[in-house]
Every structure is written in structure tokens, then in C-alpha cells.
Amino acid sequence: MIYLDNAATTRPLKSALDDAERALNDLYFNPSALYAGGIQTHREIDGAREEILSLLADKENFDLIFTSCGTEADNQAIFGSVKRGNFVTTLGEHAAVYECARELKNRGIDVRFAPLNGDGSIDSDALLRLVDENTSLVSVIHVNNETGAINPIERISEKVKQKNGRTLVMCDGVQAFGKIPVRLTNHIDFYSVSAHKIGALKGTGALIKRKKINLAPYLYGGGQEKNHRSGTENVFGILAFASAAKKRLSSLKGDSERVLKLREKLFEMLDKDTFVRLSSISGTPYILTVVAKGVRGETLVRMLSDQGVFAGTGSACSSKKPYSRVIEACGLDKELLNGVLRFSFSAENTEEEIASAAKIINATAKELYGRVK
């Protein structure tokens, strides 16, 4: 098996699984319990919180709220912040943000979408023109999950604050954290991350928020997470998240450089008569999106799976759609929209895997193209 769909999810790291197993065996106590086991479990959660937060932001100015996933983190930031005025976001957002925007529109909020450039990056000038004195929140994805385009969130957030100092800024950082350098500035109010994208477990995410921001709870109940998110904490998921985050950040530079070479090797070996590149060279090293001319990407993905190569056609969260709204917003010709393929990498991929995958991809596309003709 050659796994090239790491933007959808990743294989858990052994170190993360070891910490999860320790939590299940030794820290099975309720973290809210007042006896020794509960107190120790709560301490371990706070230790994991501090460790992850330190990798992203200044703990004097930011808090970290553990959630069940990146989607929940996005939802809490948006619905906890947008009560009036207008909400500015982009056509390149993950479904976790885009569908919130649609729901806000249904509730009578003025929702404004900024357009994309051809590689899926945001038209920053157009976005800034949408911000006015009534803008309550701006949401900008850090790394586009379908094309890999990296948006300059530091510069965009600073410009937003210059235009309206009361406007809050959130960024979906799910495809950025653990893969590219991230350090939050005080111009960014919310930042969401997810554990299973970096070698930890599904069912855990986090929302990083500036301490000065008042954020209403999304879930009510026992008052866990300092009243920000009620519900008994997912101890084994949280400890695995901290373990994976520490490992990924410790080797981020070297991993990124090596994965970039794998990305470019794959594209270099693909048949240029069949495949057109959509991803920018300056995008994240971890995503390569191409268009297969004249064939359906969905069909090609299934045929590749039969050959032991696992890839995607875009966001796994929107795979039921006929084609991607994000790719359409990039301005791709309609006859090419169905041919999108996304190859996404991990630090565990090898050069041998990439060489083998390229041969299989070319041969499978040729076979399918012959069938289509």
C-alpha cells in the first residue's frame, strides 16, 4: 500500500499510541474527580495543553480549549463571535467554516465571500475591501486543504485590524500545524487545529484563542475546559495529540524539506500530456493537486486504489459533491473540474513509494483514458 491521502487523515505515530495506551491503562480516572487519580489525570491534561500551546503561541496571551475535532473548534469560534454585523470569509474555506457561513446567512447575518486566485490562495485585497465598520469576524484558512496554497495570515490579520480594530480574526490551521512554521501574533484571535492530521488520533482537536476575547461556550454542562467546553475530557486523545505535536514540531524543518522533494519528484514523473498542475510550487510541501485531462478523478482514484495507491479528489468532507466548489472558485475550466486529484504526503513516505506510485498513476490514467476514448 502506498498512502498518499494524508490531508484526509494520517496513520497514528507509535509514540502517540504509546501515550494513548498509558492514558487508557493508568489515567482512566475522571479528570474532575477530587481524589488522587483524578487530580493526576487533570494535571496531565493541563501539561498536554501547555505543551501544544507553547508550540503555537505565547501562553501569556493565548489559551487552548480542547475540542472533539477541528470542525468543532471552527464552529465554536464562529457561532460564539458572530451575533450581529457581517461575517467576512473566503470561497476557499473548509466545509467546517463554509457551512457555518451558510447557516449564519440563514439566520439573517450579512455573509461576504472573498474570491480566490488560480492556485486556491485568497485574493487578499478583495477580502480587505469587504471589511467595514460592521464586520464582527473574518475567517481565513491558513493552508487550503484542497490545493495546498498558503495564505499570509499574519499580514492579512494585521491589515484587518488596521481597518477595524474591533473585528475578530480566526484561521483554520488544520493543514498548517505540524507541517509549516506557525507562530500566532496578537492580530489573530482564534486558530483551530486537529490531532489526526499530524499522526495522533481522531476525536481530538483544539481551539487556540486570545485570552482577552470573551467566547461563549458551545457545549454546556459540567464546566470543563474553564467553562469553555463542557464534557468529560478525552484523556487518551489529548495525550496522544501532545505527543504527536511534539514529535512533528521537533523535526518540522527537515521533514518539510524532504517531503517537498517527494512532492516535486511525483509531479516530475507524472505524464504531462495527461496531468496539469493546480497546486502552486510555493504551497505546502504536503499537498500536490493536479487535473487529469479527459478522465474523471473519482474513477481514477478507485482504479488507483485497486493498484494499492490511495489518493483523493479533494476534501474528504465534500467528497459527495459532483465536483469541488473550492476548485471551481479557482477558475478551473468546467470540463476539467471532474478530473481533480489530490496527492498528500507524510514524513513517513519514501522516494521508492513515490517512484512506484508515479508509474502506477501514469499507467492507470493511460488505461482509463483509453477506455474513455
Which residues are catalytically annotated? 317
CB 164 within 8 A of CB 135: yes
Q: What is d(CA 152, CA 122) in angstroms, rounded to the nearest whole number?
A: 9
Q: Is the Cβ–Cβ distance between 115 and 66 less than 8 Å? A: no
Taking the C-alpha atoms of residue 361 and residue 373, their distance in angstroms, rounded to an integer, is: 18
Q: Which three cell numbers stand for residue 344?
A: 498528500
Task: Report the C-alpha gap between 175 and 92 in whole angstroms.
Answer: 13
Other CB atoms within a 10 A radius of the CB of residue 318 amount to 18
DSSP state of 180: S
- Radius of gyration for the chain, computed over Cα atoms and rounded to the nearest angstrom: 21
**Count of Cβ atoms closer than 10 Å to residue 228 Cβ:** 21
Q: Report DSSP letters for 258-306, one per residue.
A: HHHHHHHHHHHHS-TTTEEE-S-TTS-TTEEEEEETTS-HHHHHHHHHH
Q: Which of 133, 181, 123, 119 is nearest to 156 (CA)?
A: 123
User: d(Cα 373, Cα 295) in Å, to the nearest integer?
Assistant: 10
User: Which of these, 222, 189, 249, lies nearest to 42 by C-alpha position?
Assistant: 222
